[in-house]
Chain A
Amino acid sequence: MTLIDRTSPDTRSPGRETPEVPPRARARRPGRWSYPLVFASPGLLVYVCFVLAPILLAFGYSLTNADLFHPDAEFIGAHNYTTLLSDDAFLRSLRVTTTLTLIIVVLPNVGGIAVALLLDRPSRLYKALRSVFFVPVVLSSVVVSVVWMALLSDDGLINTLLRGLGATSPPGWLSDPDLALCTIGFVISWQMLGFCSVVYLAGLQGVPKELLESAAIDGAGPWLRFRTVTWPMLAPAMTLNTVMLLITGFKAYDHVQVLTAGGPGLGTTSTIAFDVIQTGFTENRTGLSSAMAILMLVIVAVVSSLVLQLLKRREVDL
C-alpha cells in the first residue's frame, strides 16, 4: 500500500519533483508474473521434476555410451542415433509400432462410431450399455491382456469354439508370427473402443436435431443424413480420438509384454517402447535405450502435431 501511495501520480503535487523510490523498495515490487508463478509453482515443480528433468536426463544419456552397470559414461555425440537409424532391429520395431498404431487408430475409430450410433438412444437400457462398453477402458491393460491371452491360446475359448464349429486347424492368434501383431492390435482396439464410443456419443449429443430434421424433410435418407450432417459434426470428437489412439499406439508396451513379450520370434511384435525397456534393462545399454526413447518422443510429437493440424483444419472447415 505504501509503495503504491509513493509512486501514484495522484499524490504528486504539481511542480514538485517526484520523490526517488528507494532501490530496495523497487526490488520488492511484485512483477507481472509473480502471482501466476506462485500459483503455478506446485504444478510447475511436478512438471519439471517428473517430466522435463527425466526427458533432459534421457537426452543427456542418449549422447553417451552409458551402461546400466557403469553409469560413468563417455560422451559419444550422436553415435547412438546414427547406430539406431541403421539398425535393422530398431527399424523393424519402428515398422511394428507403425503397423500397430495404424490398426489401433482405425479399428476403435470405426467401431467407436458404430457403437456410439447404436447407443445414441434415450432408453435406460442403452444408458446401461454405455457403461458396459466403457468397462474395458478402466481395467488395467495387464488384466485385459491376461484375460485375452486365456481366450486366444490354443486351448482357449475361441479356438475351442472354432474346433466345435469344425475348424481342424484354428489360427494361432498369438503363436503365429504373421498373426500376433494383428491380434495385439485387436486387443488394444477392444480396450479403447469404449473410450472412442463415449467421445463419439458426446459428439452425437452436440449434433443439432434441427439440422437432421431439415435434412430429413429435404428427403435425405439415414446414410445421407449421416454423411452430410452427423459425420462433419463429429470432426472434433474424431480429432480427440485419433490423437489419443496415436499416442496409445506409439507407446504400446504392457499388452505386448503380457501377450507376446515381443515375439513369437525375434521382434515380430516388439514395439519401440518394448525395445527401450529390453535394451535398457536386459542388454544394460542405457545410452542406446535413452536414444530410442528420445527418438520415440520426437516421432510421437511430430506425428501427433501433424495429425492434429490436419484434423483441426477439417474442424475449421465446418
Chain B
Amino acid sequence: MRKALRPGALALLLIAACAPVGSGGYGSNASAGGAKEVSFLVFETPNLTPDYWDTAIKRVTDAHPDIKVKKIVAPSAGERTAYAKQLLASGQLPDVMQAVAPSGFAESGHLYAWSEKELAAYQYPGSNPLGGKIYQLPYNTQPTPLVYYNKKLFARAGITDPPRTYAELLATAAKLKAKDINPFVVGGGGKDAFAAAYPWIALVGADVYRERPDFLVRRRAGEARFSDPLFVRATQKLADLVKKGYIDKAGLSRDYPSTEKAFLDGKGAMYPMGSWFAASVDAKELPFGIGVFAWPTDDGTTVVPAYTGGGPIVNAHAKNLEAAKTFALAFNQNTANNDVLVKTDAAIIAIKGYRPPTMGPVYQDTLKVLRSGKVVNAFTVETGDDALLPGMSDKVFAIAQQIVAGKTDGAQAAELLDQEWAKAGGR
C-alpha cells in the first residue's frame, strides 16, 4: 500500500513543482516562426471598438512580420491605469500600454524613456516630462473639455451666438432654463465618475491655470493650496451653476455612453466634453446641428484646456524591448492607423507632417477653437511632473459628484481636496 502511494505522492509534488506560479502571464516570448511577441494593453470606448484595435494592430504587424502582438483589454477605459498597476503587482506588466498614465511606473524604473531621436517626429516632444524625461509618446492633442451645443435648442431659446464671456454663458443658461430646456448635460454615474468633473476642469482651466499655469507644480511644492481664493472662486462657479438648476443632477445616474446619448437625444443644450466627442457627432445624422465653443472666461479671452500625450508607454523590462519600442513607434506613426483614429476618435494628431483626412464640420470647428485660444493644462489629465498625486484624480471626480449633487460648495470642495492631498502624501 505504501509503495503504491509513494509514486502518487511523488507525482503530486511534481505537478505542484511544475505548476505555473507567479511570473509569466503576459510576458513576451519568441513565438512560432521566430516572430517576437509583444503584449499590448488597450482599452475600448464607444469610438475605440475591438475592431478598431484589431485592425490597427494588424496594419503594424503586416509591416513588421517579425513582431507578434498579444492584445490585452483593460476592464474599462477609466480603469486602464489601475489595471496596469494590478498587472505590475502580479508580475505581468504588458510590454506596451496605450494611454496609460506613466506617473509612478516611470519613477520606479518600469518604463523606457524615449530618446530625442525617437521623439523627433513629434510636434511637442517635450510634453509631460517626468524628471526631465519623456516616457509617453506625445502623439495626440485633446482639448478637454470644450462645450458642444445643440443649435436647435439654442435657436428655440432665441440664442443666436455662443457665449464669449462667463456672464454671457450665465445669460444663455438662464434663457434656456426659461424655455424649460436643460442647459447642461453632465454625466458621471457608475464607474464613469470622471464625466462629472468636465465643467470643473473647464473652470479650473479658464480661471486658475490661465492665471497660474504652474498651479499644480506649486501645489506639489506646498506653495499653493486648493483653498486659495482663485481655486475656490472657480469651484464656486460650478456650485452656483448647480444651485441655479443649470446642471441636471440626474446626470449622476448616467454612465459615460448614456450621457452622450442623452445629449444627442436632445435632453440638454450644452455638453462639456473632450474633443473626441466630435467623432461621434460627425458620424451620425442628427436632426439638429452641433456647434462648439471654449468654456468662457470672465473677460472673453479664449482659453482651451488641452493635453498632448496619450501615446504608448513601453515596459523597460520587456523581454523583447526592441520589438516593443518598434511596435509602439510604428503603431503610433502609422498614417492609416492615425487616419482611422482621427475618424473614430476625432484625434488631433501631433506628428510632424501628418495631414488628417477630410473630416466633418464639428471636428473642423473643434480644431478652429483649439487654434483660436490660449492652451493651458487640463486639470486631472496631466501626467507629468505637474500631475496630481496618485489617487487624487479619483477624489476630484468624487468631489465633483458632490458639487453636482448640490451637497458641497466651492470652499468645502477645496477644503476636501486639500485634506485628500495631505492623505495622499502631499504637502
Q: Give me the interface of A with B, judged by CB distance under 8 Å.
A: 28, 30, 35, 38, 41-42, 45, 49, 68-70, 87, 89, 149, 152-156, 172-177, 257-267, 277-284, 286
Contacts and interface: CB of A to CB of B under 8 A. Distances in A.
Given A257-B191, A258-B190, A278-B391, A69 B105 contact: yes
B399 interface: yes
Given A42-B12, A177-B405, A281-B86, A262 B398 contact: yes
Contacts of B420: 266
Interface in B1-43: 2, 5, 8-9, 12, 16, 21
Given A69-B107, A172-B249, A282 B82 contact: yes
A301 B264 CA distance: 50
Interface residues of B, number: 52
A280 B90 CA distance: 13
Interface of B: 2, 5, 8-9, 12, 16, 21, 82, 85-86, 88-89, 104-105, 107-108, 110, 188-193, 196, 248-255, 258, 262, 267, 390-391, 394-395, 397-399, 401-402, 404-405, 407-408, 416, 420, 423-424
Given A68-B88, A264-B401, A281-B85, A154 B191 contact: no
B193 A154 contact: no
Nearest to A183: B253
Contacts of A70: 108
B136 to A, nearest CB: 16
B85 A68 contact: yes
Given A38-B9, A45-B12, A68-B88, A267 B398 contact: yes
A278 B392 CA distance: 11
A266 B398 contact: yes
Contacts of B108: 69-70
Contact of B85 (A42, A174, A284): A284
Given A266-B416, A282-B391, A172 B89 contact: no
B189 A68 contact: no
A38 B104 contact: no
15 contacts: A30-B2, A38-B9, A45-B12, A45-B16, A68-B104, A69-B105, A154-B253, A175-B251, A177-B401, A257-B191, A264-B402, A266-B395, A266-B416, A279-B391, A281-B89
A294 B33 CA distance: 48
A155 B251 CA distance: 9
Given A282-B82, A282-B394, A174 B399 contact: no
**Most chain B CB inside 10 Å of its own CB: which residue of A89, A152, A156, A282:** A282
Nearest to A173: B253
Nearest to B254: A153
Contacts of A87: 423
B398 A283 contact: no
A265 B398 contact: yes
Contact of B391 (A149, A156, A283): A283
Nearest to A156: B253
B424 A155 contact: no
Given A45-B16, A172-B249, A176-B405, A264 B188 contact: yes
Contacts of A42: 12
A224 to B, nearest CB: 45
B405 A175 contact: yes
Contacts of A286: 89
A281 B82 contact: yes
A177 B424 CA distance: 24
Given A38-B8, A265-B405, A286-B89, 10 more contacts: A35-B5, A153-B255, A154-B253, A174-B252, A175-B251, A176-B249, A264-B188, A264-B196, A264-B404, A282-B82
**Most chain A CB inside 10 Å of its own CB: which residue of B105, B248, B397:** B397
Given A69-B104, A282-B394, A284-B104, A41 B189 contact: no
Contacts of A49: 21
Contact of B253 (A41, A68, A152, A265): A152
Contact of B189 (A45, A149, A283): A149
B5 A155 contact: no
Contacts of A278: 391, 394
Nearest to A46: B16
A264 B190 CA distance: 8
Given A68-B89, A154-B254, A174-B253, A260 B402 contact: no
Nearest to B21: A49
B2 A89 contact: no
